[in-house]
Amino acid sequence: MKTIFIGLLFALLWASASVATKFGILSAPPLILANVRFFLAGGVLLLYGYGFKKDKEYRMPNALEWRQLAIFGFLNTTVYLGLYVYAMKYTAAGIGSLATSTNPLFIVLLSSWLIGRRPAKAEIWSIIIGMTGIGIATFPLLKDSSTTLAGLSILILSMISVSFASVYYARVKWKLPNILINAWQVALGGLFLLPFTLAFGEFSSVVVDNRFIYSVLWLSLAVSVIGLICWFYLLKIDTVKASLWLFLCPLFGFFYAWWLMDEPITLYTVSGTLLVVFGLYLGQRKSLKA
């Protein structure tokens, strides 16, 4: 029962990121919103890890771990979330949530390339079906300009980056606690993004209103802190079963987009989402049976 509750909480929080981002960029440019989020989330996690945890494993990283954290943070935070937040300016919230759930499909492709693991036919079909589903769900939104091809392209690039990060994370033999790994990768990712934010961020257009504050707090504390703590907990119990909770993200994501942003749920939306969920299931079916 505890695992089910944490899994549902993860899916509910993770799916809300795209809607919260859409609200946030109404008050601040994407890069500025992202940097504030990263530094706040990283600061809270570092304070918790070093201020409240007294175990010996909660230590400062060594030279090798700094390099590993820097690579992971650059891929998982600077590139992935930086591009994702920027893509939300040109993409519907529901599509953003749907694209996030395709992460396991890209991991299959990247694993076969980086590790030399040949993908099974079912995994190849899962990728084809999943991407077809995104295309169907996106089609009517391209017509009314709520989603653009440029935004969709940036979104896909962000998914490729986080898939790289996931494969890299799996290959490293981490000795630091998950809390510190997440804390440092978010903080370092924000640090790497900062020069771009200072160079290209339109600070004059920032409006520090309630919408901005609530969006930043939700993205930082609810999504980046609580959501990722839930995710690491699920991964620790069972990696394959943890990925099943991603199936719920597009369902919750489209519900949030309809409820909070009045985005329409059409036959295209339902058909595309079902195809993505089926593609995810197809790609994970062999592991589940095992």
Identify the pLDDT of residue 144: 72
SS3 content of the chain, % helix, strand, coil (to 5): 80, 0, 20
Query: Which sequence spans correspond to the domains of the chain?
Result: 2-289
What's the rounded Cα separation, in Å, for the pair 170 and 160?
15
Identify the pLDDT of residue 10: 92
Instruction: Quickly count: other Cβ atoms within 10 Å of residue 74's Cβ.
Output: 21
In angstroms, how far is the first alpha carbon of the chain from the final one?
Answer: 23
Instruction: Quickly count: other Cβ atoms within 10 Å of residue 118's Cβ.
Output: 8
Band (189; pLDDT cuts 50, 70, 90): very high
Band (13; pLDDT cuts 50, 70, 90): very high
This prediction has a pTM of: 0.85
132-162 per-position pLDDT tens digit = 888 888 888 777 767 888 998 999 899 889 8
Taking alpha carbons only, the member of 132, 33, 92, 88 closest to residue 263 is 92
Band (107; pLDDT cuts 50, 70, 90): confident
